[in-house]
Amino acid sequence: MKKIIAIALIFFSMLLTSACYNFNNDANKSSTDFFAMDTYMSITAYGGNADKILQQAKDQIKRLEGMWSVTDKSSEIYAVNHSNGKPTEVSEETSELLTFALDISEKTSGALEPTIYPVLSAWGFTTEQYRIPNDREIKNLLKKVDYKKVSLSEKSVQLKPEMMIDFGSLGKGYASDIATEFLQDNGVSSALLDLGGNIKTIGAKPDGSDWKLGVKDPEGSGNVGVLSVSDIAVVTSGNYERYFTDRDGKKYGHIIDPTTGHPVENDLQSVTIIAKEGRLCDALSTSLFVMGLDKAVDYWRQYQDFDMILITDDGEIHITEEIKSKFTIDSDHKNMKINVITAK
Ligand code: ADP
Ligand code: MG
C-alpha cells in the first residue's frame, strides 16, 4: 500500500537541481539510493569504505521522515496536528526545525507558511485528487493558516484546533544538514547528497576539483547552466514540475501563495538558492519563489547570507554577483539574458 507522505509531495518529480558529475576514479566510491520523504535520494561518498556510514546516514534520514510525516499516525507532526489545541512534546530536532521555520516565516513576512497544509490539501496536492476550490472554501481554510498562531516553548508545540504543520518546504534541506554532519563526524571528506533535488556537497570532488551541479531549465528537460561549487548546498524550487492542468491548459503548482490561497502565479519560473546550510536553501527557495522577482531581490539585499539564481517567465536569469563566476551557461541557452544582482 502506498504510504502518502506529505513532507514531500505526491509524485516523483524529476530533480529540480541535478547533479551532473563524471568521475574518473571511482575506486573508493560508496553510494546508496533510496526512497524517503516521498522522493528519490542518493548519497555518494569517497575515500575508505563508507558503505556502513552511508547506511547509517540513510537511517538518520528515514528517522526524520518518521518524525515529520503528516500522514503517518506515529509521527511527531501527526501528534501535534491532531492534538486538538493541546500542547505536545516533540524531539530536539523537531523543535529546532520549527524554530528555524518560524524565524524564516517572520523574515519573509509569511511567504514561508509552515501551516499551509489545509489549503494544499484542498487543491488535492496531498492525494493527487486535484480540484479547484472555490473562493469561499479558500477563505475559510485560510482561517486555519497562520504561523504566528504556532506556539513553541522549548520542546512543547501548541496549535489552534484544526491547524496543521507541514515541513514539506524545508524538511529535506534540514535532513541534508543532519546527514552531512553525521558523515563528516564519521570521517567523510568528499560526498554528494541528492535528496530529491536538494543537493549538498561535502568538500570537493576526490580529485580536488569543484562539483558540477546542473541548474534545470524550467521549460525543458536540460539545464540552463552548471554551477561549479564545493562544500555547499544548492536547492531549487518552482511550480513547473509538480502541478496539474485544468481544461484550459492552465497550470496549478504545489507552492501556495499564503495571501491568496492559490498556487503561486508570478514572474518567476524557478528559484535556486546556494548557501552553506541546506535548511536555509530549502526554506528560501520555496519562500522567495512565493515572493516574486522584486521582493526576492530586496530580500537578498537585506540579508545577503546566501546566493541565488532566479529564472523569470520571460526567460531571463537573475544571479547574485558572487556566484556568477561559478555559473556557466549551457551552450543551448546562450540567448538567455543574464542580469547580475548587486548589493547596490
Ligand atoms: P519540493 O518539496 O518539491 O522540493 P519545496 O521545497 O519548494 O519543493 O516545497 C514545496 C512544498 O512545501 C509543498 O509541496 C508543500 O508541502 C509546502 N508548501 C507549499 N506552499 C508553501 C508555502 N507558501 N510555505 C511553506 N510550505 C509550502
Ligand atoms: Mg523548499
- List pLDDT tens digits, range 241-266: 789 999 999 999 999 999 999 999 99
Report the atom number in ligand 1 closest to the C-alpha of 8: 2
Ligand 1 binding pocket (C-beta < 6 A) is: 8-9, 13, 112-114, 116, 120, 166, 168-169, 196-197, 237, 242, 254-256, 258, 282, 285-286, 290
- Above 50 in pLDDT, residue 268? yes
Query: SS3 for 187?
Result: coil
CATH code for the domain in which residue 117 is found: 1.10.3980.10
Instruction: Compute the distance from residue 205 Cα to the ligand 1 centre, in Å.
Output: 30
Per residue in 222-235, pLDDT (tens digit) is 999 999 999 999 99
Could you please report the per-residue DSSP string of 299-313? HHHHH-SSEEEEEET
- Among residues 297, 275, 38, 290, which one has the least CA distance to residue 177? 275
Residue located nearest, by CA, to atom 4 of ligand 1 = 237
Grid cell, residue 51, equals: 558503505
Asked whether the whole model's pTM tops 0.85, one would answer yes
Residue 230 lies in a domain: no
Tell me the CA end-to-end span of the chain in Å, nearest whole number.
54
49 alpha carbon – ligand 2 mean position (Å)? 32
The verdict on residue 97 lying in a domain is: yes
pLDDT of residue 30 exceeding 90, the answer is yes
Please state the length of the chain: 344
Q: Is residue 13 part of a domain?
A: no
Residue 93 located in a structural domain: yes
Question: Does 245 reside within a domain?
Answer: no
Domain count, the chain: 1
Tens digit of each residue's pLDDT (9 = 90 or more) over 31-63? 999 999 999 999 999 976 689 999 999 999 999
Query: Whole domain around residue 106: which residue ranges?
Result: 71-158
